[in-house]
Amino acid sequence: MYFDTIDSTNAYLKKYWKKLPSETIVWASKQTGGYGRMKRKWISQRGGLWFSVLFKPKNRPMNPWHYVRLYTMSIKYVLSKYRLETVIKWPNDLLVNNKKICGILGEGIYTGNIVSAIIVGIGLNVNNIIPDDLKNIATSYVEEKNKELNLKKLLKQINSTAYYKYYLKYFKKDKISIFTKLWIKNLNIRHGDFIKVISQSIEKRGKIVSIHGDYLEIDFDGKIEKIYAGEVSVRKERI
Ligand code: BT5
């Protein structure tokens, strides 16, 4: 489904998920109320690729983070075909030279404890110029490569990569852990790295003990804690 302007493609699917089929894609040229984790504002000017995908499969793993990974892996792959190498930042960003080119938001629709549907929202800076106040932390394809891309073609490539290269192959009970491992291999952090964890503007430094799909185990001065993906920002420390 295409919209010129919408409040948020995620919000649209959250409203209409019941009557729409699985794998419905909602794409908009511009969002007026784009959002990220913890309802942070997502700047979505014309020229970027803003879309959301609805998943309500019969027999596939239903953790929203699997679907976020599905898209980070696919976009990394497709951008590399356009000669732009990106780094996956745990848990949901793609970076170029430490600047965010893509953010992905996975939301689960719960019926009691059961996830009935998953909505994945993808914000990819493509032909849009980054506003001044985000220049230090964000970049776009055109700013990196000085070249514009066809958004419709890119949208198709990303979704067919997600579907055929990863979803059909790995989104099965006995295969999903292989996919998570593949994703971990592509991350910008490793066991033993020192990181800064920022949660509700409190900063803590620690060392990574282990990396999992949805959480990290961090050693904060001898005390091991689990840090969950939904709640924190993680920065790699240079030491
Ligand atoms: C994310 O959140 O990175 C997930 C963003 C998902 C956006 C898509 S667009 C289509 C769909 N519809 C929606 O309404 N949302 C999804 P988070 O990790 O919370 O990062 C948010 C932070 O990224 C903000 O607080 C800003 O610092 C920064 N930011 C905002 N707009 C940006 C942009 N266009 N490019 C890079 N960084 C941005």
Spatial distance between the Cα atoms of 35 and 121, rounded to a whole number of angstroms: 9
Answer yes or no: are the C-beta atoms of 43 and 110 closer than 8 Å: no
Clarify whether residues 21 and 73 are in a common domain: yes
Clarify whether residues 179 and 203 are in a common domain: no
| Number of domains forming the structure of the chain | 2
From ligand 1's centre to the CA of 103, what distance in Å?
5
What CATH code is carried by the domain that includes residue 217? 2.30.30
Clarify whether residues 165 and 135 are in a common domain: yes
Clarify whether residues 155 and 57 are in a common domain: yes
| pLDDT at residue number 231 | 63
Alpha helical stretches, state H, the chain: 9-16, 64-81, 141-145, 151-160, 168-170, 176-185
| pLDDT at residue number 16 | 98
pLDDT at 157 over 90: yes
Mutate to test the pocket of ligand 1, among 16, 42, 119 (most ligand atoms within 8 A of CB): 42
What CATH code is carried by the domain that includes residue 170? 3.30.930.10
| pLDDT at residue number 199 | 79
pLDDT at 236 over 80: no
Phi, psi of 99 (to 5 degrees): -110, 145
pLDDT at 96 over 90: yes
pLDDT at 201 over 80: no
Residue 22's identity, in one-letter code, is S
Clarify whether residues 161 and 222 are in a common domain: no
CA 83 to centroid of chain Cα atoms: 20
Clarify whether residues 83 and 175 are in a common domain: yes
Clarify whether residues 30 and 117 are in a common domain: yes
| Range of the structural domain that residue 203 is part of | 194-236
| pLDDT at residue number 238 | 64
Three-class DSSP category at 187? strand
Q: Could you tell me which residues come within 8 angstroms of residue 50 by beta carbon, excluding any fewer than 6 positions away?
A: 9, 27, 28, 29, 30, 31, 34, 44, 121, 122, 123, 124
Q: What is the pTM of this model?
A: 0.94
Clarify whether residues 108 and 29 are in a common domain: yes
Closest CA to 27 of 154, 167, 163: 154
Phi, psi of 50 (to 5 degrees): -120, 115
pLDDT at 239 over 90: no
- Report, as an integer, the average pLDDT of 135-161: 98
Residues with CB under 6 A from ligand 1: 8-10, 31, 34-37, 40, 42-44, 50-52, 92-93, 100, 103-105, 121-123, 125, 134, 137-138
pLDDT, mean over the chain: 94
Q: What is the pLDDT of residues 45-57, one digit of tens each?
A: 999 999 999 999 9
Clarify whether residues 14 and 127 are in a common domain: yes
Q: What is the pLDDT of residues 110-124, one digit of tens each?
A: 999 999 999 999 999
Clarify whether residues 159 and 212 are in a common domain: no
pLDDT at 198 over 90: no
Clarify whether residues 152 and 128 are in a common domain: yes
Clarify whether residues 35 and 101 are in a common domain: yes
pLDDT at 73 over 70: yes
| pLDDT at residue number 91 | 85
For 34, 78, 125, 140, 232, the CA distances from 94, given in Å and listed in that order, are 18, 12, 10, 11, 16
Q: What is the pLDDT of residues 214-232, one digit of tens each?
A: 899 999 999 999 998 766 6
